[in-house]
Chain A
Amino acid sequence: SAVISQKPSRDICQRGTSLTIQCQVDSQVTMMFWYRQQPGQSLTLIATANQGSEATYESGFVIDKFPISRPNLTFSTLTVSNLSPEDSSIYLCSVAVGGANTEAFFGQGTRLTVV
């Protein structure tokens, strides 16, 4: 497995501002992922973050709204920009570990409330 540190654990932000979430892993990993979990819902993949290249976004998510950085193999950030109340969710960082039988593990999540 992997030890994943995500911060902040929670934040309350004003609409129109931005929040940057950090994800730190205790080992080098190729693939990192960002998910959103809206209240009472399951997880939805936002994007895949690869070191040295631009993130790959899923349908319905765009770089202008969710810019991602991946400066090295142990760290990534997700920014949620121009916040609106609809962005109130839990944001989760995930890393893939293993070879042929890759498994994904999650950070503790960031609970964002937009007021």
Chain B
Amino acid sequence: QKEVEQNSGPLSVPEGAIASLNCTYSDRVSQSFFWYRQYSGKSPELIMSIYSNGDKEDGRFTAQLNKASQYVSLLIRDSQPSDSATYLCAVNPLPGNTGKLIFGQGTTLQVKP
């Protein structure tokens, strides 16, 4: 059973702080990793993709991937109340990147003003 695991939270951080979201996956053949943000009542929105070991930065977001440890994380700098949402880690379970995804259960982030 291929699995993606996240701490469901809620993770609560003060406004302006760094939020750190973590995800582990079970299948070593996975090559593509994604973070989605989902606001309540809305569909998932892609915020980061990462394919290689190391860090990838996009604005206030940094994705980190460690394939040896089967671990991917998302850092949100200068957290804002508008960042309050559920963050879904998703993994492509196949050697190629087809768009097929296995999702973690999501981590709820609360940013308090």
Inter-chain contact A45/B46, CB cutoff 8 Å: no
Q: Which residues of A contact B71 (CB under 8 A)?
A: none
- The secondary-structure label for the interface of chain A is strand
Residues of B within 8 A of A105 (CB): 46
Dominant SS among interface residues on chain B: loop
* Segment 68-115 of A: residues with Cβ below 8 Å from B: 92, 94-97, 100-109
A residues whose Cβ falls under 8 Å from a Cβ of B:
1, 31, 33, 41-45, 48, 92, 94-97, 100-109
**A-B pairs with lowest CB-CB distance, top 3:** A96-B99, A106-B43, A102-B97
Question: Could you give 18 example pairs across A and B, Cβ below 8 Å?
Answer: A1-B46, A31-B99, A41-B105, A42-B88, A42-B103, A42-B105, A48-B98, A96-B98, A96-B99, A101-B97, A102-B92, A102-B97, A102-B99, A103-B46, A106-B45, A107-B43, A108-B42, A108-B43
How close is B108's CB to chain A, nearest CB, in angstroms? 11
Interface string of B37-60 (1 = CB under 8 A from A): 000001111100101000000000
